[in-house]
Amino acid sequence: MEAGKKGARAVLTCYEQAEDFEVKAPEAAGRWLHDLLVRLTHDYDTKLLLKEAAATFPATAGSFEAFLISPAWQLLREKGLLLL
């Protein structure tokens, strides 16, 4: 976590073969995102619908719809995150 002008932020570092990248999000959304990604990587056969992910999104992180258009979510989508 890092503190900034907009409050505490989470920085998730993702490792790929080609290049590593960082996903930055507000603290509450970052913690939720970390938990989500850990759950998904424990079992590669796990399927999760977007509405199921939305149901667990913390109210303190703002609206889930706003998070879906955030740079953090867009970066994950560009890197291949797939939720239906």
Q: How far apart are CA 24 and CA 77, in angstroms?
A: 14
Predicted pLDDT at 50: 86
Predicted pLDDT at 69: 94
Predicted pLDDT at 47: 79
Average pLDDT over residues 34-56: 85
Of residues 29, 20, 15, the one with CA closest to residue 71:
29
When divided into structural domains, the chain yields a total of: 1
Residue 62 has pLDDT above 90, yes or no: yes
Predicted pLDDT at 82: 67
Asked whether residue 83 is domain-assigned, the answer is no
Identify the domain containing residue 73 by its residue range.
Answer: 2-78
Asked whether residue 84 is domain-assigned, the answer is no
The rounded mean pLDDT for the chain is 84
Asked whether residue 48 is domain-assigned, the answer is yes
